[in-house]
Amino acid sequence: MRLARAFNSAWAQLARNLQGKAIMKTMKLVILIVMIAVALFLILPNLSWAQDTATVYKTKCAACHGADLGGKPAAKIPSLVSDDAKKLSDADLSDVIANGGKDKKASHAFANKGVTPDQIKMIVSYIRDAQKK
């Protein structure tokens, strides 16, 4: 009888330990899934923004300035990665894109052509990233 009680007690303790370990494994798994979800939430919008930035440049600027931002010197379209372009402040570069710059070139006043201030910031960011390469 004592042996049976001892066996049952040991069996019950083992069951509680196994149940506790299962709960701990489940909690670790839940925490891991939450951490991965948070990381993806933080990373994916940035990737999307980078793709959107490239798309805005390609649709609004690349036809004249080229996919490599090198411009077309023969057509007097300046390079956006030249030393002169690098010297422009972000505000000046934004003004050139939005309003045609100091010369107020109507053909380059994209604010009047539906390009939003956020898109202009994206284009400036894209140009600055390309200038670093």
Single pTM value for the model:
0.59
Gap between the Cα atoms of 69 and 78, Å rounded: 9
State yes or no: pLDDT of 114 exceeds 80.
Answer: yes
pLDDT by residue (tens digit) across 50-87?
558 888 888 888 888 999 989 888 888 888 899 998 99
Gap between the Cα atoms of 81 and 79, Å rounded: 5
The pLDDT of 16-44, averaged and rounded, is 79
The whole-angstrom distance between residue 106's C-alpha and the CA centroid of its chain comes to: 32
Please name the residue ranges forming H helices in the chain.
2-60, 62-65, 83-87, 90-99, 117-132
Using alpha carbons only, what angle is made at residue 122 by residues 111 and 72, rounded to the nearest 5 degrees? Answer: 75
Predicted pLDDT of residue 8: 66
State yes or no: pLDDT of 27 exceeds 70.
Answer: yes
Provide the residue ranges of all domains of the chain, joining segments of one domain with +.
2-132
pLDDT confidence tier of residue 91, bands split at 50, 70 and 90: very high
Q: Higher pLDDT residue, 58 or 1?
A: 58
Which two three-digit tokens encode residue 40?
Answer: 């993806």
Fold of 2-132: Cytochrome Bc1 Complex; Chain D, domain 2 (1.10.760)
